[in-house]
Structure 1
Amino acid sequence: MRDQQLFQPQDYLTPKWYLFKSSKLGNVYDSIPWEQLSACLPKKNKGPGAPSWFSPQGMFGLMFLKAYLNLSDEKLIARFNTDWSLQLFCNKLLQDHQKIKDKAILSRIRTYMADHTDWQQLQEVLLQHWKTDMHNTHVLLMDATCYESYIRFPTDVKLLWESCQWVFEKQLYRYCKILGVKRPGSKYIDQKRMQMSYDRSRKKTYKAGRKRKKSLIYLLSKGLGQLQCLLNENPQIQLHLHERTYLKTIKKIIEQQQFLQQHPAKELKNRIVSLPKAYVRPIVRGKEAKRVEFGMKAHLLQVDGICFIDTMEFRAFNESTRLKLSSLKHRSIFGSLHQLGADRIYATNKNRKYLTEKKIFTCFPKKGPKVNNPAESQLRSLISSQRATVMEGSFGVHKTAYGLNKIKVKGEKREMIHVFFAVMMANAVKISKRKSEQAPLLQAA
C-alpha cells in the first residue's frame, strides 16, 4: 500500500485527465482551492494511520466525496478502488494491481481532520475563493435548522436498560469471567425477563413505565457499586478511554433519572438522551411533524444561493441573538450589506434598532402606523419569498442529497466536520454549475 504514487505532473497529459476535467466532477474539482486548504493542515502528519496514506489534498478530497456521493465509508472506499475519476479528484492515482483494503481509513481521516483543522478557518478560505463568482452580495438571508443524529428515539426506560446491559454484561460479568471469580448477586436475569415482557407490550402505560424506571434505577445503582468494588479489589484491571467515558456518562444518567423520579414536574437541563452520543441534546422545534429533534442546531447564512455556517452547537439556542454578529461576519467577507431576510423570530426591538442604525432594509413587518409604500412592500415580499424558498430549500437539499438527513458519524467534532464538508460541497456544486454555464457565453463574446 505504501508504494502508491501521488499524481505526477506528467499525468496531466493523459486521456484520463482530459476526460476527468470535462466531467461534472472535474468542474467541481476546479472550483475548490486545494493549495489554500492543504495549507490549513500541519506540514507534518501527526499520528499513525490514515494521514500517512493520503496527501492533504487527498484527505480533503475524500471528505468532499463522502458528501458528494452520499455513500457509507465502506462503499466509498470500494468505489474509490474502481473509479479512476475519484482517484484523480483526491490526487491519488492507484496502479492496476493496487487497492485500499482498510475499510476504517476514512473514519481515521475524519478524526484527523477534526483534531487538526478549524472549520471556520477552512470556510473563510473557501468563501474568499468563491466570492468573485457571487453576485448580489449586498443581500443576506439567515435561518436556523437542525441536522439530526442517527439515534433511536430516546425514552428513560430504554436509556436505563442500555446502561444496565453495559454495566452487567459488558463489564461486570466479563471481568468476573476473566478473573475467575463468582458473579456478585443481583436480580439482573429477572429484570431482563421483565424488560423483555415490557418491550413486547403494545400499550406502555405511564404507571408501568414509572414502575420499570424505579426498578432499573435500583438495579443500575447496585451494578455500579459492584463494578466499582471489583475494580478497587483488582487494580490490574485498567479500563480503556471509551470505557471510562461510558462509565462517567452512566453515572450522570443515573443522577438525572433519580432527580426526575423525585421531582417529576421539574424541567431538567442538559439531559442525556443517548449513551453512545452523550453530547446530543433534545431540541424543541415546535414543528407539526417533529416537535422535538435530536442532533445539532446550526445557524446558516446565505448570499446569492451560497450557504455558509455561522455557528453549530449541540444545544438549543435562540438564533435571533446571532443577527448582529452574523451581519458583521457578512461585512467582513463581502463588504456592504443593504438588505436582510430573516424569520419573524429575528424581529426583536433590539435587532430592529440595530438594523435601522445601519440603514439595512429587512423583510420584517412594520410596527406602529403603517404607510404602504408599493415599492417597499414589493421588495419586502421578494426578500421574504427568497428566504422561504431558496434558503429553506437548501436545507432540504443538504439533508436529502448530501447525507445530512440522519448523521451516523460519532463524536462531537467529527459530526461538525461532517456537516461542514456537506454544506461546502453543495456550494462547490453550485459554483461549478455557474462557471460551466458562463463558459460558452465568454467564448461567444
Structure 2
Amino acid sequence: MNKYTKNNLPKLFSEEETCGHRVQIFKETKLGKIHASLPLEELGTTLPIRQEGTAGAPSWFGNAGMFAVMFLKHYLNLSDEMLVDRINTDWELQMFCGRQFGDNDRIRDRNLPSRIRSYIGNNLSLETFQEIMIEQWSPHMGNTHCSLFDATAYESYVKYPTDEKLLWDCCVWIFECIYVLCKELGVKRPRHKYREQSIKQLAFSKTRKKTFKLRKRRRNSLLYLLNQGIVFMDALLAENAAFLNIAKYLCVQEKLKTVRTIFRQQTYMHEHPGEYVKNRIVSFFKPYLRPIIRGKENKRVEFGAKAHIYQVDGINLIDKLSFDPYNEALCLKGCVDKHNRHFGELHQLGVDNIYGTNKNRTFITENKICTCLPRKGRPPKHDKQTSKMRQELGRQRATALEGSFGNEKNHYGLRKVKARTQNNEIVWILFGIMTANAVKISKRTRQQEDG
C-alpha cells in the first residue's frame, strides 16, 4: 500500500507560510504594483459604514474591496459575469480585493459588480474621489506647471435612435405594463391595435428604403397608438391605485412620466417639422441622454456623456462630466483654478483653437500663461523661443492627450459604456480613466525601483 494516503500527504508549507509566500509573489506582479499605487483604504472611508451580515452586494467585500473590484473590472476589461468567474478562481485577484476565499467560498451572484457599481454611484463624490487620488499620485508626478485641456465624449451603449424606434419602445412598454397590471388586478384588457401595429412595425423595420411619406405615416400611427395606451394606463391606475404595491406604483409613475414627455415632444415635432425641441429625449430606457454634435467626418453625432479633461504629466483628471452638451471653452477659467489648487501655479497650457475666445485670451494674459493658441495681430521680432514652445504644447495636446482618450476607450472599457443608469455611467467612466492612470503610475514606480 502506498505510504502517502489521501489524508496524510506531506505538507511542504503551512497555510501561514503559503499565504506569506503568495503575498511576496503578488507584490512583484503588475497587478501588485497597481494595487500599491491605489489608496483603497482612504477611498473606502468615503462610503458609509455597512454592518456585517447585512444583505446586499457589499457583504462579500469591505468598502476598500468594492473599489478594488471596480478597478479590476476596467483593468481586465471583462464583463461582470466573467469578472466574477475570474475572482472565484484566481487567488491573485482575490488578494487584490483584500479577501482570500476558502475551499468552499464562491461568489454565485453574477450581478455583484453591477450592484457594487450602483452602491458606489449613489454614495461617492467625484471631487472627493479625485482629491484622494491626486494626493496619492502627486509624489510620482513631475512637470506640474504644465497642463493640457480637451473634451471628449464617452458613448453610451444604445441603439441609434430614430423617432419611430423611440415611439415603438414606448408603445411596447406601456402595453406590456397594461397586460401585467390587468392580470394582477383581474381586470379585462382594453381593446387596442397593438398586435396589428407590431406587424406593421416589423415590416417597416425590414424596409430598406424608408421614404419621408412612409416615415410620417408610421409616426402618425405610433402616436395614435401611444396616446391610446396612455389613456388606458391613466384610467387603470386611477381606478386601482389602492390595490397596487407602493414601490411598483411609483416605478410605473416615473416611467409613465417619461412616456408622456416623449409623446409631447414627438407630437410637436410631427406637427412642426424642422423645429428645435429643448431637452429632447432620444432613448426611452436612458432619458438623460442628449445628442452631442461632434462634427467628425465619420461620426457627426454621439450619444453619451461629454467630459472635459485636463492632463497633468500624463495623468487625466475630470473637470466636468455632463450628459448635456456644453461648450468646453467656457470651462477654461474654472479648470485653471482647479489646477492651481491641486498642483500649484500653472505656467504652460496646451489647448485647442476653440478655447481662443477673447475672454479666455484676456484671462491667460493676466495670469501670464503660455499657450499654443495662434497669436492675434503682428508677431514680435524675437519670437522664436515662444513659437517653439507653442508648437511643442500643441504637439503634446494632439498626441499625449488625445492618444490617452483612445487608450482608455480601447483598453479600459470606455468604447461603449454599458451601464444602465446615469450614476452608474458616471462611475463607469470615472473608474475607466483612473485605472488607466493607475497603470501609468505603477510603471513609474517600477522604473524608479529598478533605477
Bin the TM-score by the shorter chain: over 0.9
Within 5 Å, give how 1:127-142 maps onto structure 2: 127-142=134-149
Q: What CA distance in whole angstroms lies between the structure 1 residues aligned with 2:394 and 2:250?
A: 49
C-alpha distance after superposition, 1:322-342 (max 9, x if no partner): 101000100001112110000
User: Counterpart of 1:6?
Assistant: none
Cα shift readout 1:286-314 (whole Å, capped 9, x = no counterpart): 11110000000000000110000001000
Task: For structure 2, list consecutive stretches of 5 or more residues without a partner in the other structure.
Answer: 1-14
Report how far residue 174 of structure 1 moved: 2.4
Relative to the length of structure 1, the TM-score reads 0.94
Residue range with higher mean Cα deviation, 285-294 or 228-237: 228-237
Provide the aligned C-alpha RMSD in A: 1.6
Q: How many pairs does the alignment contain?
A: 432
1:436 CA drift (Å): 0.5
1:188 is aligned to 2:194 = yes
Question: Is residue 201 from structure 1 mapped to residue 207 from structure 2 by the alignment?
Answer: yes
Distance 1:367 1:61 in 2: 49
CA distance in 1, matches of 2:74, 2:160: 25
- SS in structure 2 at match of 1:146: strand
Q: Which residue pairs with 2:3 in the alignment?
A: none
Q: Return the match for 1:267 from 276, 285, 290.
A: 276
Residues 1:385 and 2:395 are matched in the alignment = yes
Alpha-carbon shift at residue 16 of structure 1 (Å) = 1.0
Change (3 A) 1:49 1:293: same
2:369 maps to 1:360: yes
Distance in 1 between residues matched to 2:139 and 2:377, nearest whole Å = 41
Provide the C-alpha distance between the structure 1 equivalents of 2:251 and 2:163, rounded to a whole number of angstroms. Answer: 22
Counterpart of 2:258 in 1: which secondary structure? helix
- Residue matched to 1:3: none
Pairwise mapping of residues 226-305 of structure 1 onto structure 2 (< 5 A)? 226-235=232-241, 236-238=243-245, 239-305=248-314
Q: Secondary structure at the match of 1:14?
A: helix
For residue 100 of structure 1, what is the aligned residue in structure 2?
Answer: 107
**1:88 aligns to 2:95 (yes or no):** yes
Deviation, 1:176, is 2.5
Match of 1:110? 117
Q: Which of 74, 78, 82 is residue 81 of structure 2 equivalent to?
A: 74
1:253 Cα deviation (Å)? Answer: 0.4
The SS at the match of 1:312 is strand
Provide the C-alpha distance between the structure 2 equivalents of 1:45 and 1:310, rounded to a whole number of angstroms: 34
Task: Determine the C-alpha separation between the residues in 2 that align with 1:176 and 1:25.
Answer: 54
Partner of 1:203, secondary structure, is coil
- Structure 1: 5+ residue stretches without partners: 1-8
Alpha-carbon shift at residue 45 of structure 1 (Å): 5.0
The partner residue of 1:57 within 54, 64, 78 is 64
Indicate the SS of the match to 2:317: strand
Counterpart of 2:185 in structure 1 is 179
Describe the shift of the 1:12–1:329 C-alpha distance in structure 2 as closer, same or farther (beyond 3 A).
farther
What is the match of residue 10 of structure 2? none
Are the counterparts in 2 of residues 45 and 51 from structure 1 also a CA contact under 8 Å? Answer: no
Moved more, 141-150 or 99-108: 99-108
Structure 2 partner of 1:399: 409
Whichever residue aligns with residue 371 of structure 1, its letter is P
Q: TM-score, normalised by structure 2?
A: 0.93
Q: CA deviation at 1:343?
A: 0.3
Note the C-alpha offset of 1:56: 1.1
Superposition pairs for residues 399-418 of structure 1, below 5 Å? 399-418=409-428
Cα shift at 1:115? 1.3
| Structure 2 residue 132 is the aligned partner of structure 1 residue 125 | yes
Percent identical residues: 47
Matched-pair contact (CA < 8 Å) for 1:37–1:125:
yes
The whole-number CA distance in structure 1 between the counterparts of 2:391 and 2:198 is 59
Change (3 A) 1:12 1:376: farther
Query: Hey, what's the Cα distance between the residues in 2 that align with 1:200 and 1:60?
Result: 45
Q: Which residue of 1 aligns with 2:318?
A: 309
What secondary structure sits across from 1:227 in the alignment? Answer: helix
